[in-house]
Amino acid sequence: MPIPDFQTLMLPLLQFAKDGQTHTLSDARIYLAKYFSLGKEELAEVLPSGKQRRFDNRVAWARVYLDRAGLLISPKRGSFYITEDGLQFLSKNPKTISISVLDSFPKFRSFRETSKNNDNSIGNTALSPESLPETPEELLEKSFKQIQDELAASLLDRLKNCSSAFFEDLVVELLVKMGYGRYRKEAGNSIGKTGDEGIDGIINEDRLGLEVIYIQAKCWKNSTVGRPEIQKFVGALHGKRAKKGVFITTSAFSDESKAYISHIDPRVVLIDGWQLAKLMIENNLGVSVKTVMELKRIDTDFFLEE
């Protein structure tokens, strides 16, 4: 089944804590995963950043919202227990817990009012019903991904209009930033000097020069790279007794070309225009930093008194 939104998680999470014991978020996730019969695929789903599982994020925020309402309390990071208000609320046998339900608690309303009076902070935006079912971090990451995708699309348009010489230099710079080649000058001399047998250049895989990678770079606007082009490149690799190759293009690869490389030796990596743009963003090539935002959380251990 789909991963429940954080509102749906709140009531069973509160019921899980009704024994009055201190619980960990890890224990809560295990309980809730069984409660909602979630499978491995759902539990493995991650946020766009890939840094946190979506289910874990929603459980954590369900706990935060219950804490804001005074139904749970967190003595230290990653743990919680139910309050008297929480027990009293459960004694009424509620059918569900939602943002509108939490609004009936003065502590929660006070938190929302504080958020409203502080420049429409993300806390206020995230706590509005219009933003559901996503958590604040999900909303933030979705927006960030949209901005990154728009940037990648703009980069790709620029790449398709580059000259072959500029594109070759760009490929060099990217590979160096990714850790290939012993130094920039050597890497620069490696690309564009071969130009025969379907190979555009050679670059070291590591800084010691123990392994080399053969490269093909195609700056195409619209044409799809088909299997014949890949076969030609693979044939050139065999001629060099090469073990590894990278085919980089500003366009796309056909399904046949992708299927072909899945069962051949040497190993060949295909990087299409979209992947190339993403790698440029990841390695800060052709882009500049506009804004840096840090996502912080309270260090509850800091407030523990001996």
Q: What is the pLDDT of residue 173?
A: 86
Give the model confidence (pLDDT) of 233-281 as tens digits: 999 998 888 889 999 999 999 999 999 998 888 899 999 999 999 999 9
Contact yes or no for 241/254 (Cβ under 8 A)? no
Q: What is the pLDDT of residue 90?
A: 97
Identify residue 14 by its one-letter amino acid code: L
45-67 as b/e, with b when 16 or more CB fall inside 10 Å? eebbeeeebbbbbbbbbbbbbbb
* Distant-in-sequence contacts of 154-158, Cβ < 8 A, 24+ apart: 155/277, 155/280, 155/281, 155/286, 155/287, 156/250, 156/273, 156/274, 156/276, 156/277, 158/286
**What span, in angstroms and rounded, lies between the C-alpha atoms of 117 and 103?**
17
Per-residue pLDDT of the chain (306 residues; tens, 9 = 90+): 789 999 999 999 999 999 999 999 999 999 999 999 999 999 999 988 888 899 999 999 999 999 999 999 988 888 999 999 999 999 999 999 999 999 999 999 887 776 665 544 444 444 454 445 688 888 888 888 888 888 999 899 989 988 888 888 888 889 888 888 766 666 555 555 555 566 888 888 777 777 888 899 999 988 899 999 999 999 999 888 888 999 999 999 999 999 999 888 889 999 999 999 999 999 999 998 877 777 777 776 666 665
**What span, in angstroms and rounded, lies between the C-alpha atoms of 202 and 13?**
57
- Sequence-separated (6 or more) residues with CB below 8 Å from residue 216: 198, 199, 200, 233, 245, 246, 247, 248
CA dihedral of residues 129, 134, 138, 143 (deg, nearest 10): -60
Domains and CATH numbers, the chain: 6-134 (1.10.10), 158-282 (3.40.1350.10)
Q: What is the pLDDT of residue 126?
A: 44
Give the model confidence (pLDDT) of 209-218 as tens digits: 778 888 999 9
Decide the pairing of beta strands 23-24 and 191-196: unpaired
